[in-house]
Amino acid sequence: MIHDERSPLLTDLYQLTMLQAYRENGFDDTAVFEFFVRALPSQRQFLVAAGLDHALGFLEQLRFSDEELTWLDQSGKFSTEFVAWLSKFEFTGDVHAVEEGRLFFANEPILRVTAPICEAQLIESRLVNILHQQTLVASKAARCVLTAPDRLLVDFGMRRAHGAEAAMGAARASYIAGFTGTATVLAGMRWGIPIVGTMAHSFIQAHTDEMTAFRNFARSQPENVVLLIDTYDTLRGARMVVDLSDELSSEGIRIRGVRIDSGDLAALSLEVRQILDAGGCDDVMIFLSGSLDEYRLRELQAAGTPAAGFGIGTHLDVSQDAPSLDCVYKLQEYGGQARRKRSSGKATWPGRKQVRRQYDSEGLLCGDVLCLEDESEDGESMLRQVMAGGRRVRIDTLAAARERCAAELDRLPQSLKLLDGEAEPYPVRVSAGLRELARDVDRRFG
Amino acid sequence: MIHDERSPLLTDLYQLTMLQAYRENGFDDTAVFEFFVRALPSQRQFLVAAGLDHALGFLEQLRFSDEELTWLDQSGKFSTEFVAWLSKFEFTGDVHAVEEGRLFFANEPILRVTAPICEAQLIESRLVNILHQQTLVASKAARCVLTAPDRLLVDFGMRRAHGAEAAMGAARASYIAGFTGTATVLAGMRWGIPIVGTMAHSFIQAHTDEMTAFRNFARSQPENVVLLIDTYDTLRGARMVVDLSDELSSEGIRIRGVRIDSGDLAALSLEVRQILDAGGCDDVMIFLSGSLDEYRLRELQAAGTPAAGFGIGTHLDVSQDAPSLDCVYKLQEYGGQARRKRSSGKATWPGRKQVRRQYDSEGLLCGDVLCLEDESEDGESMLRQVMAGGRRVRIDTLAAARERCAAELDRLPQSLKLLDGEAEPYPVRVSAGLRELARDVDRRFG
């Protein structure tokens, strides 16, 4: 309908015009491109890698359809020879990457493509598109998880995510980062992510009285009775829940929770807790939603909210305080020679690189080195080969990525867990070998 | 791969659980839901309606697949009767809407669904998802168009849009708002949007010298020679263009433009203009890109940039300064009775509504009235029927939406065109009939 997400034409026009020029001028040597984030948003102290599985899936199936080839041919922009060559296009390169769920920092490549230059070039736009969105949301979600580690966190953002793919990517990325689940049903079907849901105001409004609405919902979903109590008057809603709890218990139905979506959430949740407890409903959990993010979670907890869980919607799915990352995919080597761009404020480090990570005596991250792939620097090598000749060489699972992220967040120094980023940035040292290579490249080019 | 954008499971779980409860309790009367934005972001003085065509396309094809039905059945969350009923689900309702490209303001419905409550309820999440993203980007794009009405504006944002559908929606929405075109090739193929492209730094870097790169590109794309001159040294790049222009003119190739993507764009564009003009290249246009948005366009123009066009990327596609709208889809009537929610800070106006728009003697927008559908208030009725019984009753085209938006922006009062929103908000009066209905509903419910 709106697009075909697998289409190789989900790319910028210049990729195709450059490809034709490469072809016509005999450029078919191996190129090395790396994906990295140039600078972290001021609201982020670390990022969580996500999206790799879909990026690799995109590469594996990349082909031009007959419809696309015909359209390109008739567009008048490309030669017949070039379109014929595209008809045989596939991705045959190698990919090295940082696994999903791991933490990374500015200027550290999390994906490296080694392939004939036309293959490595064409995929730029869509690779960035996939990795950017999931990394963006995983990084935002991790902040929520660090802020409220002992509460249930659920992705409620589908409706205001930027389209279908963003909604699905957000459900997946937030689950990697440690969310309990999502409200997006398709994410449950596709990936087995736990799906969570309550009820909407419209359900209450469609009934002539709130109590009947609660009763009808409870009997229809006896295993999942979470009642929305703020449609008219939240405290009155809580008292109705107490009354209904007695009535339903005789039917063997237990009310699991109530949701509050408006008003002073901290104060209301405390008052509702009192009403529920006084009414013998101390096992009914309180769930809060409504414009929540990590900053609001911090406030609510500081105010002593007894909520057991939070639905995080729009702010998570669009990464409201930092809705984009300054991420790029840059040529670092061609034909065996390292390359770099030197554009003002946008210069890159040349060559095939590796990130080596060091840990302190407590196992916490204490510093990375950005170095050449074959340079001897201590530390854990972050980039590993994930694709050879266009085929994956290792299979990762969503569950593994989620466990990995939890372990990573445990290894994060306390200062980097702060929401407001007043700490010193995490140290990423550029190796001597890399600095020397940059000087060497500058002597040879430009 | 990542999702099936047509799936009815692209919804929140609670829609399905509510549907089962509606079914089991005999709720099958007609419901009326309306989509509107509760409050404009502080950075917006108006919004541009977009996404309707895709929202209607979504409704027309909405069916559950066998795979989806099997999964729902096995999920343990739904009754066999309910899943059997879903297997016959389709959307049979009516839709009234504000046409794409028209302006609207807070609390004004731009879409109204009238359908059996289960149909009207299920579609909420995805309808909001589609309308939100395209309206968001169209509204951002319109601000760019108003700021730089005489320049070429091109959507460069695909790579950092939030996924594939967001990239496509941004290309489309910005074109409706008046952009010249997009770099996203698939938007050209699907919708005939003009596609525009230059070259990337990697093309320059893959060559051992910049001049050869320029020459190779020009000969490969003789009809579309726009050269990127900032890879190493922008002014030297401009001088190369002058030299190359002579050389290529003997081959009948004309250099159409240069692009600058980094550095002090205002100063560099002035200096490059001088170099080009002095070298006889006064017909070579300058194209600027790099973290641009409407605020930067204003600065660049205030600094006298001679640029003929701008590539607007990330900030457009993610609507960086306002990445979400507070938009909702709310039940306004059920079974012939008006409804409203009264949640603190989130109360809605009940009933089937219409927006009537008034114009001053110069034809400029001067005030809207939010009223009941059948209430006699002067002005142009903004909501028109677009779907009856699940089928469209009028076909709109992208070209028509684009022309409509241009006409709308011409009718916008000067104060609302300001980027910084210091003007009084556009007046939207709530009619006496609507206020009376709200009081009446409050007496009957809650």
**CB contact, 8 Å: A336 with chain B?**
no
CB–CB of B59/B391 below 8 Å? Answer: no
- pLDDT band of residue A343 (cuts 50, 70, 90) is confident
A377 domain residue, yes or no: yes
What pLDDT does B370 receive? 97
B162 pLDDT more than 80: yes
Distance from CA of B50 to the nearest CA of A (A): 13
Q: What is the CATH number of the domain that holds A100?
A: 3.20.140.10
What pLDDT does A1 receive? 41
Q: Do residues B299 and B216 both lie within one domain?
A: yes
CB contact under 8 A, B221 and A20: yes
B183-239: pLDDT as tens digits: 999 999 999 999 999 899 999 999 999 999 999 999 999 999 999 999 999 999 999
**What is the chain B residue with the closest CA to A219?**
B21
A188-209: pLDDT as tens digits: 999 999 999 989 999 999 999 9
Nearest to B101 by CA among B426, B399, B324, B421: B399
A7 domain residue, yes or no: no
Distance from CA of A17 to the nearest CA of B (A): 7
Q: Do residues A263 and A285 both lie within one domain?
A: yes
Q: Which of B302, B317, B332 is the last residue of a domain?
A: B317
CB contact under 8 A, A16 and B185: yes
A35-62: pLDDT as tens digits: 999 999 999 999 999 999 999 999 999 9
What pLDDT does B422 receive? 67
B7 domain residue, yes or no: no
Q: Which of A317, A351, A372 is the last residue of a domain?
A: A317
Boundaries of domain holding B256? 149-317
Residues of chain A with Cβ-Cβ distance to B198 below 8 Å are 14
**CB contact, 8 Å: B232 with chain A?**
yes
B421 pLDDT more than 70: no
Residues of chain B with Cβ-Cβ distance to A164 below 8 Å are 3, 5, 10, 126, 129, 163, 165
User: Which of B220, B321, B333 has the most A C-beta neighbours within 10 Å, making it the best mutation to test the interface with A?
Assistant: B220
CB contact under 8 A, A128 and B159: yes
Residues of chain B with Cβ-Cβ distance to A206 below 8 Å are 22, 27, 31, 117, 331, 334, 339
Tell me how many degrees the CA angle B2-B5-B9 measures, rounded to the nearest 5: 95
**What is the chain B residue with the closest CA to A237?**
B446
User: Which of A160, A199, A328 has the most B C-beta neighbours within 10 Å, making it the best mutation to test the interface with B?
Assistant: A160
- pLDDT band of residue B119 (cuts 50, 70, 90) is very high
Say how far residue A16 (Cα) sits from the centre of its chain: 28
* Whole-number average pLDDT of chain B: 96
Q: Do residues B342 and B201 both lie within one domain?
A: no
B43-88: pLDDT as tens digits: 999 999 999 999 999 999 999 999 999 999 999 999 999 999 999 9
Nearest to A105 by CA among A437, A412, A435, A418: A412
B1 pLDDT more than 60: no
Q: Do residues B287 and B347 both lie within one domain?
A: no
B421 burial (CB, 10 Å; 0-12 / 13-18 / 19+) is middle
What pLDDT does B2 receive? 43
pTM greater than 0.90:
yes
Q: Do residues B204 and B272 both lie within one domain?
A: yes
Distance from CA of A264 to the nearest CA of B (A): 9
Q: What is the percent of chain B with per-residue pLDDT over 70, rounded to a whole number?
A: 98
| End-to-end Cα distance, chain A | 46
A256 pLDDT more than 80: yes
A2 pLDDT more than 50: no
**What is the chain B residue with the closest CA to A291?**
B326
Q: Do residues A436 and A290 both lie within one domain?
A: no
* Chain B, window 179-208: residues with a beta carbon less than 8 angstroms from a chain A beta carbon: 183-186, 188-190, 195-206, 208
Nearest CB among B77, B184, B344 relative to A12 is that of B184
Distance from CA of B297 to the nearest CA of A (A): 20
- pLDDT band of residue A341 (cuts 50, 70, 90) is confident
* Chain B, window 398-427: residues with a beta carbon less than 8 angstroms from a chain A beta carbon: none
Q: Do residues A299 and A164 both lie within one domain?
A: yes
- Which residue's structure tokens are 């639905």? A311
Q: What is the CATH number of the domain that holds B255?
A: 3.20.20.70
Q: CB count, 10 Å around CB of B24? A: 16
> Which structure tokens are listed for A89?
């296009």
B356-400: pLDDT as tens digits: 999 999 999 999 999 999 999 999 999 999 999 999 999 999 999
What pLDDT does A4 receive? 78
Q: Do residues B130 and B155 both lie within one domain?
A: no
* Whole-number average pLDDT of chain A: 96
A4 domain residue, yes or no: no
A414 domain residue, yes or no: yes
B8 domain residue, yes or no: no
Residues of chain B with Cβ-Cβ distance to A154 below 8 Å are none
What SS3 string covers chain B? CCCCCCCCCCCEHHHHHHHHHHHHCCCCCEEEEEEEECCCCCCCCCEECCCHHHHHHHHHCCCCCHHHHHHHHHCCCCCHHHHHHHCCCCCCCEEEECCCCCEECCCCCCEEEEEEHHHHHHCHHHHHHHHHHHHHHHHHHHHHHHHCCCCEEEECCHHHCCCHHHHHHHHHHHHHCCCCEECEHHHHHHHCCCECCCCCHHHHHHCCCHHHHHHHHHHHCCCCCEEECCCCCHHHHHHHHHHHHHHHHCCCCCCCEEEECCCCHHHHHHHHHHHHHHCCCCCCEEEEECCCCHHHHHHHHHCCCCCCEEEECHHHHCCCCCCCCCEEEEEEEECCEECCCCCCCCCCCCCCEEEEEEECCCCCEEEEEEEECCCCCCCEECCEEEEECCEECCCCCHHHHHHHHHHHHHCCCHHHHCCCCCCCCCCEEECHHHHHHHHHHHHHCC
**What is the chain B residue with the closest CA to A322?**
B320
A352 domain residue, yes or no: yes
B241 pLDDT more than 50: yes
Q: Which of B277, B295, B317 is the last residue of a domain?
A: B317
User: Which of B184, B343, B392, B443 has the most A C-beta neighbours within 10 Å, making it the best mutation to test the interface with A?
Assistant: B343
Q: Do residues A295 and A223 both lie within one domain?
A: yes
The predicted model gives A113-134 an average pLDDT of: 98
CB contact under 8 A, B343 and A201: yes
B294 pLDDT more than 60: yes
What pLDDT does A422 receive? 67
Residues of chain B with Cβ-Cβ distance to A158 below 8 Å are 10-12, 125, 129
Q: Do residues B348 and B405 both lie within one domain?
A: yes
A23 domain residue, yes or no: yes
Q: Do residues A34 and A164 both lie within one domain?
A: no
**CB contact, 8 Å: B267 with chain A?**
no
CB contact under 8 A, A186 and B58: no
**CB contact, 8 Å: B164 with chain A?**
yes
User: Which of A4, A11, A12 has the most B C-beta neighbours within 10 Å, making it the best mutation to test the interface with B?
Assistant: A12
A446 pLDDT more than 60: no
Instruction: Report the domain count for chain B.
Output: 2
- Which residue's structure tokens are 């107490």? A242
Q: Do residues B266 and B297 both lie within one domain?
A: yes
**CB contact, 8 Å: B11 with chain A?**
yes
Residues of chain A with Cβ-Cβ distance to B234 below 8 Å are 344
Size of interface A-B (CB pairs under 8 A): 391
Residues of chain B with Cβ-Cβ distance to A195 below 8 Å are 13
Nearest CB among A20, A165, A343 relative to B231 is that of A343
Residues of chain B with Cβ-Cβ distance to A230 below 8 Å are 343-344
CB contact under 8 A, B323 and A327: no
